[in-house]
Amino acid sequence: MSHALRGALALDAAVLVTVGLAVAYLAKVRMPRPPAGLFVRSDIVIMVALLVIMPFAYLNMPAAVVCTVFGLVVFVGLQATLAPVIGGRTAMVAATLVCAFEVVAYFAGWSTALMVVNDGALVIVAAGVTNMWVQTAMKPSLVAGLAAALVVYDTVATGLASVTSDFMHLVNGIPFAPMLAARYAPEPIMLGLGDTLMLTLWPLVAIKSYGRVAGICAVVVDMLLMAAVFAGFASGAITWIPLLTPLGPLIVAQYLYWRRRTPVVVPVRAPLEAALRASYGEDEPADGTWVALHEGKVVGRGDSPGAARRAAREAGVAEVPVTALGRP
């Protein structure tokens, strides 16, 4: 097996590990709500603008400045992700040690160790960042809109221009490079952090909003796409691909499918509020709790529409119930 094929397979495995870690994190860990609040459309517009502008800015910065900027991103991302699991102080120590090791490995010429540690750090950061977005109620429609916008950008920046290639060579082999890497070399084998985030984000949003089946389907789509890319490398048909070009339409298609198939999530209004109160009596749900309704009764509760439907399924309700926000 050639180095390129082994590298592509290693990146596929890294993405699957990231998705699996993010799903497990979503199921087990509740992150503190950041002061920014919920995601809205303007946040997505700003995010897309930054993603488009920043690569051009980085290409005109010294490598040391780029390294410092992404070092801060990795440090903050590691600390924020690990803090709910191992505690804030321990997480800060762990993030400091990881960042210090990357710097030492770079100056010592330990390129393989630097690559492995940086990949591990990026996997953790990607799992944490996507969980932060999902746990702050990032809506499926916003993810689909972000994916659609990034299709245009990635197709131009990666497929038609050299922006992504130039940036990849700029960060090749430096600490905190925002790329999952299988090889640092004159011809590196890398996958951008943005691609990894989008591959991870949609399965989490699908689980949170539409339930377990939608999440499993999203993971399967990711696996099939990565397998197709690997097959392309294996056959020699492709040597470079703007991954978001096929991924974006796949995310949008899944969003449109599940939006039609899943009953509309309806926030409480006066008539519905009265019906809800009659159905759950004195046992009112807490603020932000979603309830699943079937035949005029509350049959499940959870902190998201998908969790409420899952609770209803576990209670023996075969039909798909309607979900509503018990108390906004």
244 shares a domain with 289 = no
175 shares a domain with 75 = yes
Alpha carbons within 13 A on the beta-carbon side of 323: 28
Give the CA distances from residue 255 to residues 99, 105, 215, 231, in Å, rounded to whole numbers and listed in that order.
37, 43, 11, 26
Structure tokens that stand for 152 in this block:
């245009």
In this predicted structure, the answer to whether residue 28 has a pLDDT above a threshold of 70 is: yes
Q: What would the pLDDT profile of 273-319 be if each residue is shown by its tens digit?
A: 555 555 555 555 555 677 777 766 777 878 777 777 788 878 877 66
Between 72-76, 129-133, 139-143, 301-305, the lowest mean confidence (pLDDT) is in 301-305
Number of compact structural domains in the chain: 2
Q: Above pLDDT 90, what percent of the chain?
A: 28
Q: What are phi and psi of 61, to 5 degrees?
A: -110, 150
Domain boundary among 261, 281, 304: 261
300 shares a domain with 240 = no
101 shares a domain with 187 = yes
Nearest CA among 222, 213, 161, 158 for reference residue 190:
158
165 shares a domain with 251 = yes
131 shares a domain with 213 = yes
308 shares a domain with 209 = no
List the domain range (segments joined by +) for residue 298: 266-325
**Dihedral sign for Cα atoms in the order 33, 36, 40, 43:** negative
139 shares a domain with 108 = yes
154 shares a domain with 133 = yes
Structure tokens that stand for 307 in this block:
């969790």
| Higher pLDDT, residue 186 or 113 | 113
Nearest CA among 55, 241, 33 for reference residue 134:
33
Q: Are strands 189-192 and 179-183 parallel, antiparallel or unpaired?
A: antiparallel
pLDDT of residue 267: 45
Q: Which residues contact 225 (CB under 8 A, 6 or more apart)?
A: 243, 246, 247, 250
Confidence of residue 204 (pLDDT cuts 50, 70, 90): very high
Q: What are phi and psi of 191, to 5 degrees?
A: -130, 125
195 shares a domain with 66 = yes
Domain boundary among 261, 283, 299: 261
Classify residue 189 by its DSSP letter: E
Around Cβ 217, how many Cβ atoms within 10 Å? Answer: 16
Q: Are strands 266-267 and 322-325 parallel, antiparallel or unpaired?
A: parallel
The mean per-residue pLDDT over the stretch 110-114 comes to: 91
| Higher pLDDT, residue 269 or 252 | 252
Q: What would the pLDDT profile of 78-94 be if each residue is shown by its tens digit?
A: 999 999 999 889 999 99
Under DSSP, is residue 154 helix (H, G, I), strand (E, B) or coil? helix
Residue 298's DSSP bridge partners are 293
pLDDT of residue 264: 47
Question: Which stretch, 5-14, 211-220, 234-243, has highest mean pLDDT?
Answer: 211-220
pLDDT of residue 35: 46
User: Which run of H or E residues covers position 53?
Assistant: helix 41-59
What DSSP letter does each residue of 233-258 carry, written as one string?
HHHTS-S---THHHHHHHHHHHHHHH
Domain boundary among 230, 245, 261: 261
Q: How far apart are CA 150 and CA 172, in angstroms?
A: 23
What integer best gives the mean pLDDT of the chain? Answer: 79
149 shares a domain with 292 = no
Under DSSP, is residue 225 helix (H, G, I), strand (E, B) or coil? helix
148 shares a domain with 12 = yes
pLDDT of residue 236: 66
